[in-house]
Amino acid sequence: MSENIKDSVRALLAGIVDYAGLFPPSQVSMPEAVINYATYKNSNYNWMLGRFVVPAARLDEFFESANDFISRGQSGDVWHLSVLAGEDIYDSLRKIEDFNARNGSRVIGDVLEVRATTESKIENTVKALPPNLTAYFELPLDERLPDLVCGLAIRGQRAKIRTGGVTPEDYPSSKAIVRFIRTCLAANVPFKATAGLHHPLRCFKALTYEPDAPTGTMNGFLNMFLTTAFARYGFKPIVLEQILSDESAQNFKFDESGVWWRGEYFLNNSQLERVRRQNIISFGSCSFTEPIEDLQDLNLL
């Protein structure tokens, strides 16, 4: 039960999952996604739940499905949305501002997720951002990464990494992920992750829920978040790649004071809380129940 969860687990997992049920591989309907989110908000594990992820183009559709659920919420229980921008960033921002102006007392889009492959895209978006909107810029993991992260750092913005998808080719290498993490840490750029992180630990599984789904090696969200934490505290890239690639639950031990990896490397609760607050913020997942069920199997919940 949730009341018996170790402090170290809470420090690492609080608000960790942004629910993205509208997106592959789940890709449920808007009414189903809204009902799911409302259910999760009232569950024993609501402390792990972050924002509802929705495209800017579907904000009105979201409100039609969510109106009754939101109106029945407790006073002050405002729903928070992470809104995916479309190709026209200015149109997306207008949609978000109009939506917030109509509904901000009960539900608010306060995070924007936008793809950026050039520094000019970052600059133009930042110039147009209203002050109450926090943006995450999804960056390519190629030779452009250092300059783009530098551009975010100069403007006080945040990054986003795509760590998987529905085909094996969608999954970046451990080396590329560690490079992204270390680049963001060096520039003091907070970030979030998305895609392919349904499971706590790295594993070989079907990449979608279809009967004939392709299989591949999926990254684990515990691996991802703990790799970031150990990177913040100075561990070398070769060790970080080993942590990111570790599939053995026995190598990760949580106690009341912190977490151990392989019995010799340790992070305390204050370090975990700091890295969650300042560095790796959350991850998007089309499932909230799957991460919880896997964590229960690991006896962490």
Structure tokens at 113: 């997720």
DSSP structural state of residue 48: G
Of all residues in the chain, the percent with pLDDT exceeding 90 is 88
pLDDT at residue 74, rounded to an integer: 53
CA distances from 262 to 96, 193, 251, 259 (A): 46, 25, 5, 10
- Positions of E strands within the chain: 17-19, 49-55, 79-84, 107-115, 134-138, 158-162, 191-194, 203-206, 215-218, 252-254, 258-261, 265-268, 280-285
> Is 148 a residue whose pLDDT tops 90?
yes
Tell me the domains of the chain and their CATH numbers: 2-297 (3.20.20)
| pLDDT single digits (tens) 156-199 | 999 999 999 889 999 999 999 999 999 999 999 999 999 989 89
Per-chain mean pLDDT for the chain:
95
> Is 67 a residue whose pLDDT tops 80?
yes
Nearest 10 degrees: Cα torsion 139, 143, 147, 151: -10
- The H or E element containing residue 34 is helix 30-41
- Cα(222)–Cα(181) distance, integer angstroms: 14
When computed from its CA atoms, the radius of gyration of the chain, rounded to whole angstroms, is 19
pLDDT at residue 105, rounded to an integer: 83
pLDDT at residue 223, rounded to an integer: 98
Closest of 175, 116, 171, 108 to residue 149, by C-alpha: 116
pLDDT at residue 1, rounded to an integer: 46
Question: pTM of this prediction?
Answer: 0.95
